[in-house]
Structure 1
Amino acid sequence: MFSYVIIFIIVFLFLASFFTVKQQSSAIVERFGKFNSIRHSGLQLKIPVIDRIAGKVNLRIQQLDVIIETKTKDNVFVKMKVSVQFKVIQEKVYDAFYKLEYPHDQITSYVFDVVRAEVPKLKLDDVFERKDDIAIAVKRELNEAMTTYGYDIINTLITDIDPDIQVKNAMNRINAADREKTAAEYEAEASRIRIVAKAKAEAESKRLQGQGIADQRREIARGLVESVDVLNKVGINSQEASALIVVTQHYDTLQAIGSDTNSNLILLPNSPQAGSDMLNNMVASFTASNQVGEAMKKAQGKKKSHDDFQRPDHFDTTALPETE
């Protein structure tokens, strides 16, 4: 029985002499309560009873989330979430294990100190815009303090900025009003562009329409001149030719109206005698106009002769007797 106990003790001591350390971690071995060595990943050996594992240090990157409530320069309280990514420097495992008992508390204190020193210098809008500057300031201060204790600050991130709910609603209203103002400006500009484009199009249309009408009238006048020349060659004077052209156009208009069965247009007068009456009236008016013109020319000629007779410089001074 005693031999079984001895064997059991030997086996126990043999097994207790070996231990394993996981990857990305280190073990602190103490001998009689005093630091002896640092063991890294793999199978390790220690003296049973004499040596003991005081603790293990995690060498992987860790993250600590710190939530801070602070006040901005414009007296707005905000809650900020700062994520600190850090790890233990492998060459300083001893300092990380023995110099600092609660690293998370230490990091949290520094984050509080830096954030509450930086944010009150900024207005709320600037806090959102310069959050990266705040994160850099936190990292700089943490690195200076934690390197002494064997910790390396990998990165600091401000992952959330949460102002008071009333302030948040006010900011949303301001943003909505600003966007509505911008939209109204764009709509007004678009409306102005449409109006200007429409006015330019109408002006161009009127210009082209006027040019077309002018060209049309020019061609009509040229055609009338040619028609009058042709009629003059066959013994028809200008007055009779003009009357004939007007009557011809009158009948052409009647023919065009009559060819359209869906037209509701009525041309007055439209009796069969209308053409001959129009022709007679035009010839009579032209004749009367010529007679009036001839009478006015004769009257103007007599008046001019009378005026010339009344002028003293028209008397023949050679017929007057010479005075001594």
Structure 2
Amino acid sequence: MDITLIIFIVFGLFILLSSFFTVKQQTSVVIERFGKFLSIRQSGLQLKIPLIDRVAGRVNLKIQQLDVIIETKTKDNVFVKLKVSVQFMVVKETVYDAFYKLEYPHDQITSYVFDVVRAEVPKLKLDDVFERKDDIAVAVKRELNEAMTTYGYTIINTLVTDIDPDIQVKNAMNRINAADREKTVAEFEAEASRIRIVAKAKAEAESKRLQGQGIADQRREIARGLVESVDVLNKVGINSQEASALIVVTQHYDTLQAIGADANSNLILLPNSPQAGSEMLNNMVASFSASNQVGEMMKKGNRKKLKSTAYENLKTTEKPEEPETEV
């Protein structure tokens, strides 16, 4: 009697406990009675008739993601692998359709993704696939929404997360990119070299201009100094010819002194003999005298006398030639 009571109590507790069940958050439970759909229960503590009602299944209402990898070829015959991530979910209002109309939603979504990608990518070249991957994702989402809405699924978003061409194609693309960058570097280096050359040429031209201006100023000041020196010598009774000759001889010896003062100088001034100064002075005096006579004769118009005088002056200034010695 006691054993029967215990069994009855245990059975009653089992029936009582099996009448209650819990549903987690973001989950829906499908209840069937004798194999026929009865109701959909949401999150919380729920009640069912034991041995009559049963939990047929649970539907996840969270956003799920499915990654699909597809291999296809582009318009320029390059095989490429694309990774498409599909984010989808089941809303509460369509739990019945999601549970009863579609048994393997992942397989269904994968099939549609394959179909859309292999229809869109062959229309594009490889470079266009990289540039228009968002267009491919939009096309996949549009097609999936039209198909999966019937089965109670909503497509949240589709993303083309990876584009992986064949390894040889990637190497070729890298070489092309490297060559293009080297070309750009060469162009910039050539432009920089051109700028340096132009700047150097401008600097040299400016330097030459300033140097020429300095030489011109120097010679202008030398000429002024010579004029002042001649004026001073004229005041003490030395005429212009003798003063000019004296100045030239003085500068000649000053130059020799400056050259001799530098121990590391390799410059040789010719003629540099002791007689060079007196010869230079005589030649200059004779030249000035001849030029004055020529000027006076040209004024008087006596060309015949001019020729004879010039010939005599020339004979006095020229050195006698040494006779040739026969061997």
**Into which bin does the TM-score normalised by the smaller protein fall?**
0.7 to 0.9
- Give the direction of change, closer, same or farther, for the CA distance of 1:40–1:300 in structure 2 (3 Å limit): farther
Post-superposition offset of 1:6: 0.9
Q: 1:244 aligns with which of 243, 246, 265?
A: 246
Q: Does residue 172 of the first structure (1) align with residue 151 of the second (2)?
A: no
CA contact (8 A) 2:297 2:303 kept: no
Once residues 245 and 185 of structure 1 are traced to their aligned partners in structure 2, the CA distance between those partners, rounded to angstroms, is 61
- The aligned residue for residue 289 of structure 2 is 287
Letter in 2 for 1:230: V
Q: 1:218 aligns with which of 199, 205, 220?
A: 220
Once residues 98 and 203 of structure 2 are traced to their aligned partners in structure 1, the CA distance between those partners, rounded to angstroms, is 81
SS of residue paired to 1:69: strand
Post-superposition offset of 1:19: 1.7
SS of residue paired to 1:19: strand
Once residues 82 and 156 of structure 1 are traced to their aligned partners in structure 2, the CA distance between those partners, rounded to angstroms, is 7
Once residues 140 and 213 of structure 1 are traced to their aligned partners in structure 2, the CA distance between those partners, rounded to angstroms, is 85
Post-superposition offset of 1:107: 0.8
Post-superposition offset of 1:135: 0.5
Once residues 184 and 260 of structure 2 are traced to their aligned partners in structure 1, the CA distance between those partners, rounded to angstroms, is 61
TM-score, normalization by structure 2: 0.85
Gaps spanning 5+ residues in structure 1: where?
Answer: 304-324
Once residues 264 and 184 of structure 1 are traced to their aligned partners in structure 2, the CA distance between those partners, rounded to angstroms, is 47
SS of residue paired to 2:71: strand
Letter in 1 for 2:270: L
Letter in 2 for 1:176: A
Post-superposition offset of 1:280: 2.8
- The aligned residue for residue 210 of structure 2 is 208
Once residues 210 and 246 of structure 1 are traced to their aligned partners in structure 2, the CA distance between those partners, rounded to angstroms, is 24
TM-score, normalization by structure 1: 0.86
CA contact (8 A) 2:32 2:53 kept: yes
Once residues 303 and 245 of structure 2 are traced to their aligned partners in structure 1, the CA distance between those partners, rounded to angstroms, is 31
Once residues 160 and 130 of structure 1 are traced to their aligned partners in structure 2, the CA distance between those partners, rounded to angstroms, is 13
SS of residue paired to 1:276: helix
Identical residues among aligned pairs (%):
86
SS of residue paired to 2:102: coil
1:44-72 Cα deviation digits (max 9, x unpaired): 22221111111111111111111112221
Q: Does residue 160 of the first structure (1) align with residue 162 of the second (2)?
A: yes
Once residues 217 and 66 of structure 2 are traced to their aligned partners in structure 1, the CA distance between those partners, rounded to angstroms, is 88
- The aligned residue for residue 308 of structure 1 is none
Post-superposition offset of 1:296: 4.2
Q: Does residue 188 of the first structure (1) align with residue 190 of the second (2)?
A: yes
1:85-135 Cα deviation digits (max 9, x unpaired): 111112221221112111111111111111111111111111111111101
Once residues 72 and 271 of structure 2 are traced to their aligned partners in structure 1, the CA distance between those partners, rounded to angstroms, is 97
1:32-51 Cα deviation digits (max 9, x unpaired): 21222222222222221111
SS of residue paired to 1:230: helix
Once residues 239 and 44 of structure 2 are traced to their aligned partners in structure 1, the CA distance between those partners, rounded to angstroms, is 131
